[in-house]
Structure 1
Amino acid sequence: MTFPTPPLPGFGDATATLRVYIANRPPMTEYAALAAVQPLHSGEIELINRACGNGWRKVFNVYAKLLFALDTQQFTFTQQASSWQQYRDQHLLQAASNTALLFSAPVLHADQKAIHIIAGRTHTKALLDAGLPLQLNWLNHEFAIDQHHRVLVCPYFDYRQLNNEKLAQLAGLITTFAT
């Protein structure tokens, strides 16, 4: 069953099954009025990194590293590039990449195949306070899951908060939705 999805502000593939939600968008004029998912173009991630600093570099790097930590039998991201760096630069958040970085609340449908990842407890709390209807099962103080809506909560996409060990844990949780 296909559900109409209202336009969400963000970067990437509007039909992505792997959707990451963060609280802020890059503070650049060209993205201030972003009202829909906009595919990035080759070189645009580097442009954002130069304009907005190390925080955004970390978000994009962690996203690409996560894709390369996923089970290669279930996800094909590693078939498109030889390294997470190459994937980041040539495919991440571009048209038909099956990835999205969204600056809004998730639109939830129980039958939808999308996997929703909310980055950060603070952002999750704000979304819940705003009425997002999740039934989160906290696995520990950093990770939570809503199996029915295919939502995961994880630390913010930053090396210190989502280190390699936690990245592997998140990849394992994503795999449970892909089976």
Structure 2
Amino acid sequence: MKNIGLGCSNFSIAVYIGNKPSMLEYQQLSCLSPLTLGEIEMINQACGNGWRKVFNVYAKLLYALDKEKFAYSTLAPTWQKYRERFLLQQGSQTALLFSPPQLTTTKHTLHIICGKTYAKHLLATNQLNASFTWLDEQFAIDKAKNLIVCPYFDYRQLSNANIKKLAFLLNDINSQ
């Protein structure tokens, strides 16, 4: 099975999401395709606020990571500029995947599943083999597989406080 989604084929952070932008070109996607400059804004214009939140939260999360371990925040002066110039583009080491997690990539790849409901669906349909430890109602982790379940990438569910918590968990997994 191959990765299907948006982003860099050489990713070190993979976010798995249970839906795709409603534009035809993304519904028909059959591979991992890097975004081009301005494409995030095009998706936001065509698909609305929900996708704007996904991209914003992703960029804010990368910006919240430890700068000593992750260079994302050193590439642009703000998370907004990072989102516009680098997120999910070739060379960004980031991916937003619509396919189930492929946890056999490398030990250094961090995997994030957006939403408890999506994670439970993947487990129930045997599309995911993981042994999660639930840290609370919103976050679960499988440290052996560098895999975290977090709230969906939306401001209400993945608030700034929850983004900080997720960044802490990613920093912690990355240091082991």
TM-score between the two structures when normalised by the length of structure 2: 0.96
Q: 1:107: which partner in 2?
A: 102
Deviation for aligned residue 1:137: 0.1
Q: Is 1:164 the equivalent of 2:160? A: yes
Distance 1:51 1:27 in 2: 8
Give yes or no for contact 1:11–1:40 (8 Å, CA) kept in 2.
yes
Contact 1:60 1:88 in 2 (8 A): yes
**Secondary structure of the corresponding residue to residue 124 of structure 1:** helix
Give the structure 1 partner of residue 151 of structure 2: 155
- Check if 1:126 corresponds to 2:124: no
**Structure 1 residues 65-104: aligned runs within 5 Å:** 65-104=60-99
Partner residue, 2:136 = 140
1:108 Cα deviation (Å)?
A: 1.3
What is the CA-CA distance between 1:31 and the residue it aligns to?
Answer: 1.1
Q: Which of 26, 50, 68 matches 1:55?
A: 50
Task: Extract unaligned runs of 5+ from structure 1.
Answer: 1-5
**AA partner of residue 66 (structure 2):** D
Is the CA contact 1:110–1:149 (under 8 Å) kept in the aligned structure 2? no
TM-score, structure 1 normalization = 0.95
Q: Percent identity?
A: 49
Structure 1 CA distance for aligned equivalents of residues 60 and 32 of structure 2: 22
SS of residue matched to 2:148: strand
The one-letter code matched in structure 2 to 1:152 is: I
Letter of the 1:159 partner, please give it: Y
Letter in structure 1 aligned against 2:165:
Q
The CA distance in 2 between the partners of 1:177 and 1:12, in whole Å, is 22
Deviation at 1:9, TM superposition (A): 1.0
Deviation track 1:20-52 (CA, whole Å, cap 9, x = no partner) reads 000001010111211111000000000000000
Count of residue correspondences:
174
8 Å CA contact retained: 1:21, 1:101: yes
1:124-171 CA distance string (max 9 Å, x none)? 011001111110000000000001111000000000000010100000
- Contiguous gaps of at least 5 residues in structure 2: none
